[in-house]
Amino acid sequence: MLPLKQGLYSSGEGNDGDMCVCINNGKKVFGVKLQGEWNYTELTLEFDTIDKNVIHEEINNDFVSLLTRYSQNISRILNRRTPRTFNFPFYARSYTYTSSGVSTDNYITDAIVVPGSVDLFLLDRLISGSVTDTLGSQSPRGTVPYKCILKTIIITARHIDHSTDDRSSTTMGLTGNAYDTSLSSLGTYNKALTATVAGNFTRYSDENFSSIIIPQFGHFDMVLSVGNPTNRKVASLNGIMIFEEVI
């Protein structure tokens, strides 16, 4: 409730959901601000009762009528909450390897999307062959901090050079699962994203990726499959998975 005011509050004062009592041209009015505008109704109680915050029986009809009229809007305003978001980045790249004296270019085709930032030093050592084993068991699933959906996926890729630019035919296929806290499957992700050429990159995005609700501390996994063009194959890619809280 805003302070008692001589005259009316302007549209630039107060926030949606605020209430007020004003004295305007000698009359008392009650106001509620909705959608950026003040809505007023006249009161008939005396000034002293306003100071004592007592609602006189004479105004009950107008007051109740106003609140009934705007009750749903007031409730939405007072209970309005913006869902939180969090994200997991991921990374992959093509490389050359040598076997039996023969060098082979290995372009990104399938990759497990490991949630979180990638240890690039480990990746380099894996590619060079200097890593002989990993310690502990693998767990490529991500864990979510609160009830959410996988709302958006955005991927940006760099391509090898070639005189024929066929980058626009590149596709990114995403397949995975959502799990509850006991690792029971809640549903499967399966979407193909097409390329949008943006300067030196191609971009792939889906801003309404899934409606599967993952509970707090639930899990997910994802495998990325790249459909490479004939000439300008994908050299490296960076992606981000954005999760949105379900309220």
pLDDT tens figures, 25-46:
888 888 898 888 899 988 765 5
* Whether residue 90 sits in one domain with residue 74: no
- DSSP letters for 114-180: -SS---HHHHHHHHHT-----SS-----EE-SSSEEEEEEEEEEEE---SS--GGG-EEEEEEEEE-
Bridge partners of residue 38, in order along the sequence = 33
* Whether residue 109 sits in one domain with residue 36: no
What pLDDT shows up at residue 96? 83
**Predicted confidence (pLDDT) at residue 234 exceeds the cutoff of 90:** yes
- The rounded distance, in Å, linking the Cα atoms of 39 and 151 is 37
Look at the alpha carbons of 97, 99, 104, 109 in this order and tell me if their dihedral is positive or negative: negative
Q: Which domain holds residue 234?
A: 85-245
* Whether residue 209 sits in one domain with residue 124: yes
245: Cβ contacts below 8 Å, ≥ 6 apart: 83, 84, 85, 146, 147, 148
**Predicted confidence (pLDDT) at residue 130 exceeds the cutoff of 80:** no
Bridge partners of residue 216, in order along the sequence = none
Task: Enter the tokens of residue 118.
Answer: 């990638």
**Predicted confidence (pLDDT) at residue 51 exceeds the cutoff of 50:** no
Tens digit of each residue's pLDDT (9 = 90 or more) over 96-120: 877 788 888 888 887 777 665 556 6
Q: What is the CA radius of gyration of the chain?
A: 30
* Whether residue 100 sits in one domain with residue 68: no
* Whether residue 67 sits in one domain with residue 93: no
* Whether residue 13 sits in one domain with residue 107: no
Domains contained in the chain, number: 2
* Whether residue 94 sits in one domain with residue 71: no
* Whether residue 146 sits in one domain with residue 107: yes
Tens digit of each residue's pLDDT (9 = 90 or more) over 150-206: 999 999 999 999 999 999 999 999 999 999 999 999 999 999 999 999 989 999 999
pTM score of the predicted model: 0.62
* Whether residue 199 sits in one domain with residue 105: yes
* Whether residue 193 sits in one domain with residue 104: yes
* Whether residue 74 sits in one domain with residue 94: no
* Whether residue 131 sits in one domain with residue 202: yes
Instruction: Choose the final residue of a domain: 46, 78, 110.
Output: 78
